């Protein structure tokens, strides 16, 4: 039985000529694009990130494996890649075309796991260096390592044309599918092999549709056709091909026969062989095929780079959005603490009660007396087992600020946590960690910060009182008493204390202010209050900053370039201009 073929023109001859005499500008533009595409960072898990990463790789591979080498040496031999589903008999076909077993064939699927390239001996220099497919190690023996390319030199292959046996596109072995995709992207022409049992499979058709959209030249070999099904299946496949826009693709039919020593009978592949020889011998039509595919590849690259640019934009948008979530939540937290410590409301409740105790128990009055009085007081406190009310007041201030900072930080963390979690990129950054509440170090850090602030206020009072050391009043109050009063003044400084029961708090701060002004002078008190207040603000901001960092560090560990998308688009424009 003779193989039958439909031989139309492989490609239309009217495609744009990509490669005039001066390809250098285009080549340079594409090289810049290739270098830039690798650098596009897609670290965030936005909705299309996985697809975009695969696309970035595919664009880079196609540029390096095919477009750039082809542009540099437009006269290099035409590379026909034999691709197709597992078990279609790709290797058997290649072996039969060469006439010897150069690629392993067998019943175990998938059979071919690494690429085998057959070429005419005179074409060897074209393939021995890393001109095309630079990522694949050249080797001379059969290997199952998918990162090698076995080169076979054979007189049976016409000069000016090389045949590459690719692994299958649809087996369970993922590495095979990836390698096949990469090899098909590097082809000047696809020799697509399918069988009578498989020709309607969904996966190969997806590949063929890609070939159509990218303008790759395709020839189809229908292998393993039982003689009785030949007419029917061939007609059906031809219909399907023209429905998909591949009506002009040459279609060869190889019947199902027994193999001899792993090879089909020479007769069965004559038509394919003859067609290949004709193509190899006919330099203009070979060049047309090359140019057609190259043109299609560059056009499709442009389209895909635009998609990649959109993904890069989505990345920087997502990064910006996540950052804004963090900033606004923690800014609000800082405002909340500021408001509460500025409007005097911190003085209500516990602080007010302690103030009254401080004044009421006579500690205040007694602290005006001599050191003996204080000593007596302390002894008394030790005997009674009660802490000094003055210390209580300091503790009450401390717990008040601490509770405020903590609740504000918790609120902010919860808000950021839930808004990040609702975003795919944010959820990926969070992972399994629960950052929905303030960090465990916050409580300790807040206590420390408030203590340090109190120390700072005491120092301020001490400095302000430097010249007034001698005054009896200053000595009478002591630095601690003055410091406490200063803190009260700070918290009520802008104080619009309105509610009736707050009169006492207002009174407390008014009294404190009077005493302080009497001792230090009113300008000094104002300065003191402002300085102490801005220092408290700074410390709280620092505390919240370290809380905010927990989120921002995660975000900044995955930096995105905000202008990556624009850069890609500009480079594509350069390529288009150079064409």
Partner 1 sequence: MIARLRGRHRRSDLPSMLTGLDEALAALEGRADPAELAAAQAVTARAGERLRLSGEHTVVALAGATGSGKSSLFNALVGGEVSPVGVRRPTTSRAHACVWGAENAAPLVQWLGVPRKQTTWPHGGTDEHRHVGQQDLDGLVLLDLPDHDSTAADHRLEVDRLVRMVDLLVWVVDPQKYADAALHERYLRPLSGHDAVTVVVLNQVDTLSPDAVNQCVADLRRLIDDDGLRRAVLLTTSARTGAGLDGLVAVLAEAVRGRRARNDRLVADVEAAAAVLSDGVGANTRDEVGAAERAQLVEALAGAAGVSVIGSAVEQSWNLQAAGRMGWPPTRWLRRMRPDPLRRLHLRPSDRGEVRSMVRSSVPEPTPVQQAQVQTAVRRVSGSVADDLPRPWRDAVRRAAGGSSADLRDALDASVVGADLGADRRPAWWRLGGLLQWLLVVAALVGASWLLLLAFGAYLRLPDPPTPDVGGIAVPTLLLVGGVVLGWLLSAVGRAMARTGARLRRRRAESRLRDSIGAVAQRLVIGPVEAELARHATAVRGLDRARTG
CB-nearer residue toward partner 1: 79 or 220: 220
Encoded one letter per residue, x for contact with partner 1 by CB under 8 A and - for no contact, window 353-382 reads x-----------------------------
Rounded distance, CA 276 to CA 448, Å? Answer: 82
**Applying CB under 8 A, does 350 fall inside the site for partner 1?**
yes
Which residues ranging from 133 to 172 are in contact with partner 1 (CB under 8 A)?
170-172
Choose the binding region for partner 1 from 70-78, 104-112, 144-152, 557-565 (rule: CB under 8 A). 104-112
All residues at 6 or more sequence positions from 366 whose CB lies less than 8 Å from its CB, including other chains: 373, 374, 377
Which residues ranging from 482 to 521 are in contact with partner 1 (CB under 8 A)?
499, 501
How deeply is 317 buried, as exposed, middle or buried, from its count of CB atoms within 10 A (0-12, 13-18, 19+)? middle
Which of 327, 410, 535, 574: binder of partner 1 (CB under 8 A)? 410
Minimum distance from CB of 229 to partner 1 (Å)?
Answer: 3
Choose the binding region for partner 1 from 269-277, 340-348, 357-365, 558-566 (rule: CB under 8 A). 340-348
Which residues ranging from 196 to 235 are in contact with partner 1 (CB under 8 A)?
196-203, 205, 224, 226, 228-229, 232-233
Do the beta carbons of residue 413 and residue 548 sit within 8 Å? no
Which residues ranging from 419 to 448 are in contact with partner 1 (CB under 8 A)?
421, 434, 436-437
CB-nearer residue toward partner 1: 79 or 337: 337
**239 to 197, 200, 242: CA distances (angstroms):** 16, 12, 5
All residues at 6 or more sequence positions from 24 whose CB lies less than 8 Å from its CB, including other chains: none
Q: Which helix (H) or strand (E) holds 181?
A: helix 174-185
CB-nearer residue toward partner 1: 115 or 408: 408
CB-nearer residue toward partner 1: 261 or 501: 501
Rounded distance, CA 336 to CA 403, Å? Answer: 12
CB-nearer residue toward partner 1: 524 or 544: 544
Which of 70, 177, 292, 533: binder of partner 1 (CB under 8 A)? 177
Rounded distance, CA 85 to CA 89, Å? Answer: 9
Q: Using DSSP, state whether 414 is helix, strand or coil.
A: helix
The backbone region for 279, taken as left when phi is positive above 0, alpha when psi lies in -120 to 50, beta otherwise, is alpha
CB-nearer residue toward partner 1: 160 or 400: 400
CB-nearer residue toward partner 1: 134 or 247: 247
Minimum distance from CB of 76 to partner 1 (Å)?
Answer: 34
Nearest to 560 by CA among 321, 305, 307: 321
CB-nearer residue toward partner 1: 189 or 251: 251
Nearest to 85 by CA among 223, 219, 240: 223
CB-nearer residue toward partner 1: 203 or 310: 203
**Applying CB under 8 A, does 550 fall inside the site for partner 1?**
no
Three-state DSSP string of 426-441: HHHHHCCCCCCCCCCC
**1 to 80, 257, 287, 341, 516: CA distances (angstroms):** 26, 10, 33, 96, 114
Minimum distance from CB of 110 to partner 1 (Å)?
Answer: 6
CB-nearer residue toward partner 1: 15 or 443: 443
Nearest to 96 by CA among 109, 105, 84: 105
Choose the binding region for partner 1 from 105-113, 379-387, 453-461, 560-568 (rule: CB under 8 A). 105-113
C-alpha angle 308-312-313 in degrees, rounded to nearest 5 = 115
Using the Cα atoms of residue 429, residue 435, residue 438 and residue 439 in order, give the sign of their dihedral.
negative
CB-nearer residue toward partner 1: 35 or 499: 499
Minimum distance from CB of 197 to partner 1 (Å)?
Answer: 3
Minimum distance from CB of 507 to partner 1 (Å)?
Answer: 16
Which of 106, 121, 245, 559: binder of partner 1 (CB under 8 A)? 106
Q: Which two tokens stand for residue 518?
A: 């009497």
The backbone region for 84, taken as left when phi is positive above 0, alpha when psi lies in -120 to 50, beta otherwise, is left
C-alpha angle 37-43-49 in degrees, rounded to nearest 5 = 80
Rounded distance, CA 165 to CA 148, Å? Answer: 12
Minimum distance from CB of 214 to partner 1 (Å)?
Answer: 20
Counting residues that bind partner 1 (by CB under 8 A) gives 59
Residues in contact with partner 1 by the rule CB under 8 A: 85-88, 106-110, 170-173, 177, 195-203, 205, 224, 226, 228-229, 232-233, 236, 240, 336, 339-340, 345-346, 348-351, 353, 399-400, 403-404, 406-408, 410-411, 414, 418, 421, 434, 436-437, 499, 501
């Amino acid at each position: 039985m003779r193989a039958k073929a439909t031989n139309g023109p492989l490609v239309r001859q009217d495609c744009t000529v990509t490669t005039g005499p001066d390809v250098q500008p285009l080549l340079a533009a594409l090289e810049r694009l290739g270098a830039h595409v690798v650098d596009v960072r897609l670290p965030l898990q936005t909705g299309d990130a996985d697809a975009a990463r695969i696309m970035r790789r595919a664009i880079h591979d196609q540029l390096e494996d095919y477009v750039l080498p082809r542009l540099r040496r437009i006269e290099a031999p035409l590379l026909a890649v034999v691709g197709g589903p597992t078990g279609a008999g790709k290797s058997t076909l290649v072996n039969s075309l060469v006439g010897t077993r150069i690629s392993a064939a067998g019943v175990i699927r998938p059979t071919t796991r690494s690429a085998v390239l057959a070429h005419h001996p005179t074409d060897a220099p074209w393939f021995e260096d890393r001109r095309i497919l630079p990522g694949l190690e050249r080797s001379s023996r059969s290997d199952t390592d998918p990162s090698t390319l076995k080169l076979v030199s054979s007189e049976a292959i016409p000069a000016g044309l090389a045949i590459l046996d690719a692994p299958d596109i649809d087996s369970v072995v993922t590495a095979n599918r990836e390698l096949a995709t990469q090899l098909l992207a590097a082809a000047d022409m696809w020799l697509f092999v399918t069988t009578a049992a498989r020709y309607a499979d969904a996966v190969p058709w997806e590949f063929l549709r890609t070939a159509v959209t990218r303008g790759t030249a395709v020839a189809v070999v229908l292998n393993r056709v039982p003689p009785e099904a030949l007419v029917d299946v061939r007609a059906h496949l031809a219909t399907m091909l023209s429905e998909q826009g591949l009506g002009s693709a040459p279609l060869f039919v190889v019947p199902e026969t027994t193999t001899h020593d792993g090879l089909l009978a020479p007769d069965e592949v004559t038509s394919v062989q003859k067609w290949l020889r004709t193509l190899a011998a006919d330099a203009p039509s070979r060049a047309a095929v090359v140019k057609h595919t190259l043109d299609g590849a560059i056009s499709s690259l442009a389209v895909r780079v635009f998609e990649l640019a959109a993904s890069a934009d989505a990345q920087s948008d997502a990064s910006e959005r996540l950052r804004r979530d963090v900033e606004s939540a923690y800014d609000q937290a800082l405002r909340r603490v500021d408001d509460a410590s500025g409007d005097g409301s911190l003085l209500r409740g516990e602080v007010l009660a302690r103030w009254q105790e401080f004044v009421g128990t006579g500690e205040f009055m007694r602290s005006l007396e001599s050191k003996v009085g204080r000593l007596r007081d302390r002894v008394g406190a030790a005997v009674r087992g009660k802490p000094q009310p003055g210390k209580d007041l300091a503790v009450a201030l401390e717990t008040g600020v601490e509770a405020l900072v903590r609740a504000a930080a918790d609120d902010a963390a919860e808000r950021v946590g839930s808004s990040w979690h609702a975003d795919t990129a944010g959820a990926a950054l969070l992972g399994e960690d629960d950052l929905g509440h303030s960090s465990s170090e916050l409580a300790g850090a807040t206590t420390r910060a408030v203590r340090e602030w109190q120390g700072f206020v005491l120092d301020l009072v001490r400095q302000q009182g430097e010249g007034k050391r001698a005054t009896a009043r200053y000595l009478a109050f002591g630095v601690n008493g003055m410091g406490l009063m200063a803190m009260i003044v700070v918290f009520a400084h802008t104080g619009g204390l309105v509610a009736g029961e707050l009169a006492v708090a207002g009174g407390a701060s008014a009294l404190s202010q009077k005493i302080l002004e009497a001792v230090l002078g009113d300008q000094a008190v104002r300065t003191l209050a402002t300085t102490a207040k801005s220092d408290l603000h700074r410390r709280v901001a620092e505390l919240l900053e370290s809380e905010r960092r927990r989120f921002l560090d995660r975000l900044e560990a995955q930096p995105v370039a905000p202008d990556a998308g624009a850069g890609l688009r500009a480079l594509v424009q350069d390529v288009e201009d150079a064409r």
